[in-house]
Amino acid sequence: MKTEQQYFEEGQTLADYMDAMSTKKEGSFHIYESFHVPADDEFLTRLKDANLHILAITEDWCGDAMMNNAILRRIAEATDTEVHVSLRDADTDLIDRYLTNGGRSIPKYLLMNEAGEVIETWGPRADMVQTYVMDAKAKLPAQDAPEFEEEQKKVFQDVSAQFESNADFHMATYSSIREKWMHVL
């Protein structure tokens, strides 16, 4: 069984991954270009000084990944932190170690020390974003209703649009990552 460090070493950089995206690329770059990490944040200083690296488990079809990867990239650039990508669907052994409520939800970020040990994780969503998504899904008709598929598509389109344009979601994602990782820095 491969270690997380081996997945990191075999993975492409987050920047190369984003450049090669085949779906949701435009939305991800829109977020990347519009989001800027807060200035003078103690989190950024501590992350930079910690000499850590990050493995992102992701796929480019995922709306959460479209938003979160762009924000993580900004964090990484601000702190000179290396981020490499492992594709969830190419090798499910890795994601199966980091299930969310029993599911292979992505993205999942593994914060790793110099020895390649995972010291903290994050993902797939900030609480504020999770609440929004769950509220939107709660309004759907029953799955056996004839209009379910059409209504579900509308919800997914709306959620994706919010992921791309909602600056509050972007800051909530940054803040959630910050809060989760700050205690290990």
| Mean of pLDDT values over 143-170 | 97
What's residue 159's pLDDT?
97
Q: What are the residue ranges spanned by the domains of the chain? A: 4-182
Q: What is the pLDDT of residues 9-48, one digit of tens each?
A: 999 999 999 999 999 999 999 999 999 999 878 999 999 9
What's residue 39's pLDDT?
86
What's residue 126's pLDDT?
98
Is-contact 56 72, C-beta < 8 A? yes
Per-residue confidence band for 112, with pLDDT thresholds at 50, 70 and 90:
very high
What's residue 41's pLDDT?
83
Tell me the two tokens of residue 79. Answer: 């702190």
Residue 120, pLDDT > 80, answer: yes
| Mean of pLDDT values over 114-133 | 98
Give the predicted TM-score (pTM) of the model. Answer: 0.95
Cα–Cα distance, 62 to 55 (Å, whole number): 17
Per-residue confidence band for 138, with pLDDT thresholds at 50, 70 and 90:
very high
Question: Taking all residues of the chain, what is their mean pLDDT, rounded to a whole number?
Answer: 97
Is-contact 159 63, C-beta < 8 A? yes
Please list, in sequence order, all residues whose beta carbon lies within 8 angstroms of the beta carbon of residue 32, skipping any fewer than 6 positions away: 18, 70, 73, 74
What's residue 32's pLDDT?
98
What's residue 40's pLDDT?
76
Considering the domain 4-182, what is its CATH architecture? 3-Layer(aba) Sandwich (3.40)
What's residue 47's pLDDT?
97
